[in-house]
Amino acid sequence: MKLWQKNLFGLLFGAGFGGILAAGTLHEYDTIHSMLRMDEFYVYGFMGTAIMVSMATLWVFERNNTRTLVGEEIKLERSTPQKNHLKGGAIFGVGWAVAGTCPAPALVMLASGAFLAAVVIPGIFLGIHLASKGENLGFGDGEHHSTRESSVAV
């Protein structure tokens, strides 16, 4: 698959995902705050459904030795929760509660013209910079790196 084809696939997939987030109003500040106040429960169902579909799909892909678009076999990493996961989750949760969004919906906010995106998106990059200060996190979640990926500088 050529690079432009991969980029086109990524663009179409991303636009579709953004459309789903927008249709569910998950890019709106009030929706997230209503969920966190336990006033709206459909967002929990939305996220739970996404997790269950993803888990089932990834299980099938891994079991059938499915390959990615770049030809690599899908092999999921499994790890035990550690202290850094809890810290990161707490920081993410506070940011989510304050901003009313997370990275993907923040991009939908930007596309929809919401002014809050102009604050949130630089904040996301600032958080990534602060988290990686003094370390080269490379690609991934900072924990699972292949040899090829960890040699790439950010």
pLDDT at 144 over 80: no
Residue with tokens 């030795």: 65
Q: Which residue has the higher pLDDT, 80 or 142?
A: 80
CB 138 within 8 A of CB 145: yes
pLDDT at 69: 75
In this prediction, residue 127 has a pLDDT band, given cuts at 50, 70 and 90, of: confident
Position 56 scores a pLDDT of: 95
Taking the CA of residue 149 as centre, how many other CA atoms within 13 Å lie in the half-sphere pointing to its CB? Answer: 11
Q: Whole-angstrom Cα distance, residue 25 to residue 19? A: 10
Q: Predicted confidence band at 151 (pLDDT cuts at 50, 70, 90)?
A: very low
pLDDT in tens, 53-102: 999 999 999 999 998 877 888 888 878 888 888 888 888 888 888 888 88
Q: Domain coordinates of the chain in residue numbers?
A: 3-150
Q: Are 38 and 46 in contact (CB under 8 A)?
A: no
Q: Each residue of 97-121: pLDDT tens digit? A: 888 888 888 888 888 888 888 888 8
Per-residue pLDDT at 148 exceeds 50:
no
> What is the pLDDT of the chain when averaged over all its residues?
81
